[in-house]
Amino acid sequence: MPPKKVTLEEIAQMAGVSIATVSRVINQNGRFSKETEKRVKDIIEKYNYRPNQMARGLRKNRGKVVGIIVPDVTNEFFARMAVEMQVRLLREDYMAIICNTNESASIEKAHLSMLKSLLVSGLIYITHESIDVNHTLIVPTIYIDREPSPNANESEHVFIESENYQGGYLATRHLIDRGCQRIGIISLEGKISSHNNRFEGYLGALKEAGLPIDKDLFFFTKAVTYEDGSLAMDNLLEKNNDLDGVFCTADILALGALQFLLRNDINAPEEVKVVGFDDISSCTRSIPPLSTIHQSVELIAELAVQNLISMINGDPTEKPYIKLPISLIARGST
C-alpha cells in the first residue's frame, strides 16, 4: 500500500501545535521556542515528512526548481557541467531540470514555457551558441560562456566565462615554445564570443613572437564536430605545406584534426603539433593524447550555483561578470 503521505496538518497534530508553528520551524522564520522546535523536528524526522512542493510553490508563487538549458547533453562538456550543477543544487534543496534544446529554437521555447508554468526560481544557460530567443522568463539567470544580449534582458543576471583570450594566447605560446613557426588555427565561425576571444589570443601570441599572420592559416568551421575538425585540418595542410602547429578552439575540433593526421600517416607531434581547448576526457585517449587548455567545470558549476542561489534569495549580486582562470595541460600532441 502507498505509504500514506504526511501533511503539515498531521505533523502539527502529532506535535500538539498549530500548522503555522510547524511551517515556521521548517522554514526557520518567525519565532518559536527551542522546545517546540525540537518536538516538531522529531516528529518530522520520525514520519519522514517532506513538504509538498506543489502547495508550497503555489503559495509562494515559485518552486524550488531551477532550469538548466543546454544545447546538447550528448556533448560531454555540457553534460559534465549540467551534472555538476545538478548535484550542487540538490544540496541546496533545489531540483534542477536539465533541458536539452538540441539547438532548436522551438524546443527551447517549449521548455521555457513549461519551466515558467512550473514556476522556476532561476535559470542557467550553458551554451556556446547564441540562440536568440528572447526568453521572457523574468527570473534570476546565469549565463555560462555566452554573453547575454544587452537589450531585452530585464531579469537580474550573471555572466560567467573562462579567460578565453588568455587561453588562446597560452595555447599558441606553447606551440611557439615547442618550436613551431607556422601555426594554423581552427575555430568556429560566427560571433561566438568565447571562440572569438580565443582567436584573438592566438593572434596576440603570434604578434608578440614576431611571427607573420597569414589568412591561409585560418580555418573557420560551421560547427563543433569531429568531422569539421578533420576537414579543417585537411584544408589547412593543403594550403600550407610547411604547417607545423595548429591551435583548435575546441577539443572536439582538435580531436577531429588529430584523427585526420593519424589516418593520413602524418606524424603528430613530430610533423604537426596540436593544441585544443576545454580538456574533455577523450583528450587522454586520443592518439597521441591531446594537449589542451583546461577549464574547471567544477569551479564554474560552483560559482554558477552559488550566484544563482544568492540572486534567488534576493542577496545583492556582487559581480555581474565573472572571469575564470584556465591552465595549459601539455600532453603527447605537442
Partner DNA sequence: ATGAAAGCGCTAACAA
Partner DNA sequence: TTGTTAGCGCTTTCAT
Q: Which residues bind its own copies (CB under 8 A)?
A: 1-3, 50-55, 57-58, 63, 65, 72-74, 76, 79-80, 82-83, 86-87, 90, 93, 95, 97-100, 102, 107, 110-111, 113-119, 136, 138, 154, 226, 259, 262-263, 281, 285, 287
What's the distance, CA 290 to chain centroid? Answer: 21
What's the distance, CA 71 to chain centroid? Answer: 10
Q: Which three cell numbers stand for residue 73?
A: 547533453
Chain residues in the site for DNA (CB under 7 A): 5, 7-9, 16-21, 23-24, 26-27, 29-33, 35-36, 51-52, 55-56, 58-61
Output 23 or 286, the one with its CB closest to DNA: 23
**How many CB atoms within 10 Å of residue 205?**
21
From its own copies, DNA, none, which one binds at residue 313 (CB under 5 to 8 Å depending on kind)? none
Output 30 or 325, the one with its CB closest to DNA: 30
Give, to the nearest 10 degrees, the angle between helix 226-239 and helix 251-263: 60
Sheet containing strand 273-278, edge to edge, reads 218-221, 183-188, 245-248, 273-278, 291-294, 327-329
From DNA, its own copies, none, which one binds at residue 73 (CB under 5 to 8 Å depending on kind)? its own copies
CB of 312: closest distance to its own copies in angstroms? 15
Q: How far apart are CA 281 and CA 80, in angstroms?
A: 10
CB of 90: closest distance to DNA in angstroms? 18
CB of 92: closest distance to its own copies in angstroms? 11
From DNA, its own copies, none, which one binds at residue 33 (CB under 5 to 8 Å depending on kind)? DNA
Q: How far apart are CA 6 and CA 10, in angstroms?
A: 6
CB of 83: closest distance to its own copies in angstroms? 4
From DNA, its own copies, none, which one binds at residue 20 (CB under 5 to 8 Å depending on kind)? DNA
Closest CA to 33 of 17, 48, 57: 17
Q: How far apart are CA 247 and CA 218, in angstroms?
A: 10
Output 95 or 328, the one with its CB closest to its own copies: 95
Output 79 or 206, the one with its CB closest to its own copies: 79
Point out which residues pair with 329 in neighbouring strands.
292
From DNA, its own copies, none, which one binds at residue 262 (CB under 5 to 8 Å depending on kind)? its own copies
- Indicate the pairing of strand 141-144 with strand 321-324: unpaired
Output 72 or 129, the one with its CB closest to its own copies: 72
Q: How far apart are CA 301 and CA 126, in angstroms?
A: 10
Q: Which three cell numbers stand for residue 212?
A: 607573420
CB of 252: closest distance to DNA in angstroms? 43
